């Protein structure tokens, strides 16, 4: 199941992913408190069964503005936070697309989003853009179904980059000879954690080509999370992923699940969301 949330805001800094995670948590808490506690309040961390992407309605422009992440990670202490890429939205409209294979989780989110009217992107001294606190207004919630997987082969378009990391958190891109093996390892482990069993059959993935050109590119993304900042002393991390059109081969059941829950690492942090084209 998929959910489109249409929102209103003046501008959105590139370091938005952790705030969308907070929005999801807030909606789930309102929509299903027991499920929220199961996923986010247990002693052992649990994998989150969703992925998401963001879409900015044109026209918009990208400007560099100072960003205060929190009281310590601010432009005064970190030079790199003096000029953070910020999407300035002329129509003040953007959307978040969220995908989850579990119906209870998805419908709980829908119910929670409907209750929410506004979301504080900025809280106290956190996520303050150019000295201004930001509030997102939720305008419309649209649940919908994605194109079904009908066989053992599909063509997908990435809506957010597929991030695959080897040991040492080194990126593995689509053009690496290790990409397929690394992706299978990550996906198999995640499926075991989410549904209790891994892949039924090895996943095959290859870039879609037009003539001699691969319709895939490298995408470099900045993101931040509290644990990362605390552990490294850095304001944000830089991740490298694969973005474009891919052909996937596997069992219909596996493909149906993966195209809903996302591909690769860090899916619930806004990576690996895909849309089935064929």
pLDDT tens for each residue of 221-233: 999 999 999 999 9
Taken in order 25, 23, 146, 194, the sign of the CA dihedral is negative
- Give me the pLDDT at residue 93, please: 97
Burial of 148 (0-12, 13-18, 19+ CB in 10 A): exposed
Q: What phi and psi, each to the nearest 5 degrees, are found at residue 96? A: -110, 130
- Give me the pLDDT at residue 167, please: 80
Peptide bond into 59 cis (omega under 30): yes
Q: Contact at 8 Å (CB) between 10 and 134? A: yes
Counting as low any pLDDT under 50, the low residues of the chain are: none
- Give me the pLDDT at residue 43, please: 87
With H, G, I as helix, E, B as strand and everything else as coil, classify residue 24.
Answer: helix
How do residues 138-172 score in pLDDT, each as one tens digit?
Answer: 999 999 999 999 999 999 999 999 999 988 789 99
With H, G, I as helix, E, B as strand and everything else as coil, classify residue 250.
Answer: coil
Neighbours of 278 (CB within 10 A): 13
Q: Contact at 8 Å (CB) between 4 and 273? A: no
Taken in order 149, 154, 158, 164, the sign of the CA dihedral is positive
- Give me the pLDDT at residue 124, please: 86
- Give me the pLDDT at residue 45, please: 86
Instruction: Please state the pTM of the whole predicted model.
Output: 0.96
- Domains of the chain (ranges; CATH) run 2-144 (3.30.70.1890), 153-276 (3.30.70.1900)
């Amino acid at each position: 199941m998929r959910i489109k949330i249409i929102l209103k805001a003046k501008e959105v800094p590139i370091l938005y992913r952790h705030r969308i995670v907070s929005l999801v948590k807030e909606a789930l808490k309102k929509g299903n408190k027991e499920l929220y506690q199961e996923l986010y309040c247990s002693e052992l961390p649990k994998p989150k069964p969703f992925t998401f992407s963001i879409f900015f309605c044109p026209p918009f422009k990208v400007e560099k503005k100072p960003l205060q992440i929190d009281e310590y990670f601010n432009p005064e202490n970190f030079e790199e936070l003096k000029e953070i890429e910020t999407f300035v939205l002329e129509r003040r409209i953007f959307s978040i697309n969220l995908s989850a294979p579990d119906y209870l989780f998805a419908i709980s989110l829908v119910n929670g989003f409907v209750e929410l009217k506004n979301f504080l992107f900025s809280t106290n001294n956190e996520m303050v853009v150019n000295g201004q606190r930001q509030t997102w207004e939720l305008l419309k919630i649209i649940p919908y179904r994605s194109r079904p997987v009908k066989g053992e082969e599909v063509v997908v378009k990435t809506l957010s980059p597929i991030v695959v990391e080897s040991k040492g958190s080194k990126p593995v891109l689509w053009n690496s000879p290790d990409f397929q093996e690394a992706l299978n390892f990550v996906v198999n482990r995640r499926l075991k954690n989410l549904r209790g069993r891994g892949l039924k059959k090895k996943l095959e993935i290859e870039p879609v080509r037009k003539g001699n050109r691969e319709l895939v590119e490298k995408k470099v993304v900045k993101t931040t999370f509290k644990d990362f900042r605390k552990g490294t002393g850095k304001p944000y991390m830089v991740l490298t992923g694969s973005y474009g059109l891919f052909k996937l081969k596997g069992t219909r059941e596996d493909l149906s699940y993966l195209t809903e829950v996302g591909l690769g690492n860090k899916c619930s942090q806004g990576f690996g969301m895909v849309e089935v084209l064929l």
